[in-house]
Structure 1
Amino acid sequence: MATYPSLPADINRLLQEGTVIPAHPLALRQDISIDEERQRLLTRYYLAAGAGGVAVGVHTTQFEIRNPAINLLETVFKLAAEEIEKAKLHYPVIKVAGICGPTEQAIKEARLAVQYGYHLGLVSMGGLQQYSEAELMKRLYAIAEVIPLFGFYLQPAVGGRMLSYSFWRAFAEIPNAYAVKVAAFNRYQTLDTVRAIAESGRGRAIALYTGNDDNIVADLLTPFRFIVNEQQVEKQFVGGLLGHWSVWTSKAVALLEEVKQCIQNNYTGMADLLAKGVSITDMNAVIFDAAHSFHGCIPGIHEVLRRQGLLEGLWCLNAGEQLSAGQLEETDRIYRCHEALTDDQFVKTFLSRDQKRRLYGAK
């Protein structure tokens, strides 16, 4: 009989309450080798910014890390885990590992993640167009025997696929399915997923995290209500696992707290938050390069981190991933228009303190 590992209670508590989980980028040198110090620096930045976890080995980390000639998946898992351990924090940090590929590859990646202490596998269904939904579900159960699951609805525009209401109902029945990231970038598909979880009978056990970088604030504010067995059931996104939150992360932490306070105070201040959400979507459209079908998404993220001094350059493992025409100028524009939503001053202070700590051991 199959057994399914469970989450530690403190990790699950934080996951269900809702937190900020940045999708961890990959720091490279100009020769396309990994810059281990800057990779570690990014992890320390996310912890200093107040993130409740990190997601490593995901799209933002670049899927090419899995190519045998590059072989960086274990390295990025290891570096982030080591920095979290070194931080010796008095509160839990959720370690999420990106899991990809056919069943055999996915199981191998899940075992590697467990080896480095990762709590959850963010399981992508991307690149598996040949699998039926039943075959995808069989794959998920096999992975679940290795690591607790964080479901992932990835939009088709960046390699994902359409997944039905029935698929997510079946996902909810996996004993150690603890969360779902909805990154469909589509309201109909988002609704299908939320309704499936709400109507599954396990709605309280499965946390919803927005991955809809184009709709972050509205996702977090919206109560999704359904009638189930003649009773109203409500489900809400409690946090985000987002590429967008890999930049300006301290402001993302403040935003999630503001949303939580708004909801607790009977939605007082909701109009201002929704207006802020429009500004955030404007910023995301630029760094994710929505105007060019997300072609410049990863270098767009890198450009923000480069300006802040967290990365040295925009280099990607895929040489074809570069900023699109006009994206640099648009980045200048969003900095002028939405400066209050950036955290450059926070990063400047963080870098100064981090350097002193490493040079002199200062607190």
Structure 2
Amino acid sequence: MALHRSNLPHEILDILRNGTAIPAHPLALDSERRFDRRRQRALTRYYVDAGVGGLAVGVHTTQFAIRDIGLYEPVLAAAVEDAHAWTDRPLVMVAGLCGRTEQAVAEAKTAQRLGYHAGLLSLSALKGATTDEIIEHCRRVADEIPLVGFYLQPAVGGMTLEADFWERFASIDNVVAIKVAPFHRYRTLDVVRGLVAARAEERITLYTGNDDHIVLDLLTPFTVMRDGEPVTVRFRGGLLGHWSVWTRGAVHLLKRLQAAVAAGPIPADILALDSRVTDCNAAFFDVAHDFHGCIAGCHEILRRQGLLEGTWCIDPHEGLSPGQAAELDRVSREHADLSDDAFVAENLERWLS
């Protein structure tokens, strides 16, 4: 049975609209690159206890290749099962959806059946399609589940999408949010322009996925013109692979930024956090090697904390790049106050039980 945003529990919509921290859930594998159910459960417990408002599963950080090895449904089901068994508080569950229309619709049906509230729709498989074709694809998937739009940066498989596309996408009734992650200020503004042009700013919530500007996205009022009048919108939360690590620190950071926006004006020490968080991201995401080690870098932080046994990815060619471990050493030392090592150490045994 299809799910419309009007049928979502009010507490789920409130969390989504007020803005929250939603980490992109990694995939735990053992040394044979098999699904490590125990450590996958530990990760979910970690995120819940860190205070996140939701989980994104089956997305880029989970590795799109889970679909090729029969793990899409098991991994999505595990996150729902483990989260619900660990806490009674509501969590926004977001499932990654990808592929051509038939596949994306099938994944949306699977996600909805498993109890997910929305689908984060990757459009990478539609490269070369016309805007009309892509919008029709989005409409078909939105018939099954509320959508979170996804502007994925081209460096990891995304494509350029103009403001006109985002206006038409935002006009789809069952869209509830957009994750803006082109890692590009002009393209980020295209999403804002499209959203405002569609007059959908009250219905659709912006989430940053711009790991190079997390803090500034969450602090900046984005103002564009509509009918000769300025309209201002804000990013309310983040749906981020970056927040799959040091997650307790990320939750505290978001609360701090939200409080600073509410109090205004923004103090210089808050603004200075942007460069520090971006510095950490450069190491996590292996910017020096065009993001080749972006998943393994997050795995390595989790391995050092004891949450993962290793950095193994589905693709044996994916791993840390030369010099990436040293960069992780550096940012862990220089930005230790942004980490949550002590929090993990205090709870690790309980999460792994």
Q: TM-score, normalised by structure 1?
A: 0.94
Q: CA deviation at 1:202?
A: 1.3
The answer to whether the Cα contact below 8 Å between 1:78 and 1:116 also exists between their aligned partners in 2 is: yes
**Which whole-Å CA distance do the structure 2 matches of 1:281 and 1:31 have between them?**
33
Q: Which amino acid aligns with 2:205?
A: A
**Which whole-Å CA distance do the structure 2 matches of 1:200 and 1:9 have between them?**
24
Q: Which residue does the alignment assign to 1:246?
A: 244
Give per-residue Cα distances to partners, 1:267-299, cap 9 Å, x unaligned.
Answer: 342x11221111110010011000100001111
Q: Which residue does the alignment assign to 1:79?
A: 78
Q: CA deviation at 1:4?
A: 4.4
Q: Which amino acid aligns with 1:242?
A: L
Q: Which amino acid aligns with 1:112?
A: T
Q: Which residue does the alignment assign to 1:30?
A: 31
- In the alignment, structure 1 segments of 5+ residues that lack a partner are 359-363
SS in 1 for 2:126: coil
Give per-residue Cα distances to partners, 1:131-161, cap 9 Å, x unaligned.
Answer: 2121111011111111000000000000010
SS in 2 for 1:345: helix
**2:330 is equivalent to residue 337 of structure 1:** no
Q: CA deviation at 1:352?
A: 3.6
The counterpart of 1:283, out of the listed 240, 265, 280, is 280
RMSD of aligned residue pairs (Cα, Å): 1.3
The answer to whether the Cα contact below 8 Å between 1:5 and 1:146 also exists between their aligned partners in 2 is: no
Q: Which residue does the alignment assign to 1:59?
A: 60
**Which whole-Å CA distance do the structure 1 matches of 2:321 and 2:185 have between them?**
27
Q: Which amino acid aligns with 2:35?
A: I
Q: Which residue does the alignment assign to 1:10?
A: 11
The counterpart of 1:166, out of the listed 164, 167, 176, is 164
**Which whole-Å CA distance do the structure 2 matches of 1:80 and 1:249 have between them?**
16
Give per-residue Cα distances to partners, 1:75-120, cap 9 Å, x unaligned.
Answer: 110100001211242x320000000000000001001101110000
The answer to whether the Cα contact below 8 Å between 2:5 and 2:176 also exists between their aligned partners in 1 is: no
**Which whole-Å CA distance do the structure 2 matches of 1:215 and 1:73 have between them?**
30
Question: In terms of mean alpha carbon deviation, does 100-109 or 122-131 score higher?
Answer: 122-131
Q: Which residue does the alignment assign to 1:361?
A: none
**Which whole-Å CA distance do the structure 2 matches of 1:111 and 1:194 have between them?**
29
Q: CA deviation at 1:354?
A: 3.4
The answer to whether the Cα contact below 8 Å between 2:3 and 2:145 also exists between their aligned partners in 1 is: no
Q: Which residue does the alignment assign to 1:306?
A: 303
Q: Which residue does the alignment assign to 2:176?
A: 178
**Which whole-Å CA distance do the structure 1 matches of 2:161 and 2:256 have between them?**
32
Q: TM-score, normalised by structure 2?
A: 0.97
Q: Which amino acid aligns with 2:137?
A: R
The counterpart of 1:317, out of the listed 299, 314, 318, is 314
**Which whole-Å CA distance do the structure 2 matches of 1:243 and 1:74 have between them?**
20
**Which whole-Å CA distance do the structure 1 matches of 2:96 and 2:253 have between them?**
25
The counterpart of 2:351, out of the listed 344, 348, 354, is 354
Q: CA deviation at 1:208?
A: 0.1
Aligned length: 351
SS in 1 for 2:230: strand
Give per-residue Cα distances to partners, 1:304-323, cap 9 Å, x unaligned.
Answer: 00000000001010011011
The answer to whether the Cα contact below 8 Å between 1:48 and 1:350 also exists between their aligned partners in 2 is: no
Q: CA deviation at 1:231?
A: 2.6
**2:218 is equivalent to residue 213 of structure 1:** no
User: What is the percent sequence identity of the aligned residues?
Assistant: 52
Q: CA deviation at 1:5?
A: 5.1
Q: Which residue does the alignment assign to 2:118?
A: 120
- In the alignment, structure 2 segments of 5+ residues that lack a partner are none
The answer to whether the Cα contact below 8 Å between 1:5 and 1:144 also exists between their aligned partners in 2 is: no
**Which whole-Å CA distance do the structure 1 matches of 2:327 and 2:105 have between them?**
41
Q: CA deviation at 1:199?
A: 2.4
**Which whole-Å CA distance do the structure 1 matches of 2:134 and 2:338 have between them?**
39
Q: Which amino acid aligns with 2:57?
A: V
**Which whole-Å CA distance do the structure 2 matches of 1:41 and 1:198 have between them?**
40
4+ aligned runs moved over 4 Å, structure 1: 2-5
**Which whole-Å CA distance do the structure 1 matches of 2:96 and 2:219 have between them?**
27
SS in 2 for 1:204: coil
**Which whole-Å CA distance do the structure 2 matches of 1:73 and 1:117 have between them?**
14
Q: Which amino acid aligns with 1:116?
A: L
Question: In terms of mean alpha carbon deviation, does 128-137 or 305-314 score higher?
Answer: 128-137
Q: Which residue does the alignment assign to 2:234?
A: 236
